[in-house]
């Protein structure tokens, strides 16, 4: 989990959106999606659509 926090901290420092899907497990609810009490569902403000 320390690696995930390191990636999260780097994203926050660089103002990069972070989408953290889940910790792990065989089902989505097995280990949960929260990282330090928060769901990280961020997306970039603008997105480039391939083929558009």
Reported as a single tens digit per residue, the pLDDT across 28-52 is 666 678 888 898 999 888 766 777 6
Answer whether residue 12 is part of any domain.
Answer: yes
Closest CA to 43 of 24, 20, 23, 22: 20
Q: Using one digit for the tens of pLDDT, what is the confidence trace for 16-29? A: 999 998 776 676 66
Q: What is the pTM of this model?
A: 0.66
Answer whether residue 51 is part of any domain.
Answer: no
Please give the residue range of the domain that contains residue 39. 1-43
Q: Is 3 helix (H, G, I), strand (E, B) or coil?
A: helix
Answer whether residue 48 is part of any domain.
Answer: no
* Domains held by the chain: number: 1
Answer whether residue 4 is part of any domain.
Answer: yes
**Cα separation, 28 vs 24, whole angstroms:** 7
The secondary structure element, H or E, covering residue 7 is helix 2-14
Answer whether residue 26 is part of any domain.
Answer: yes
């Amino acid at each position: 989990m320390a690696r995930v926090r390191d990636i999260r901290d780097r994203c926050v420092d660089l103002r990069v959106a972070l989408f953290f899907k889940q910790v792990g497990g065989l089902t989505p609810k097995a280990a949960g999606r929260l990282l330090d009490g928060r769901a990280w569902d961020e997306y970039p403000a603008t997105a480039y659509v391939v083929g558009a």
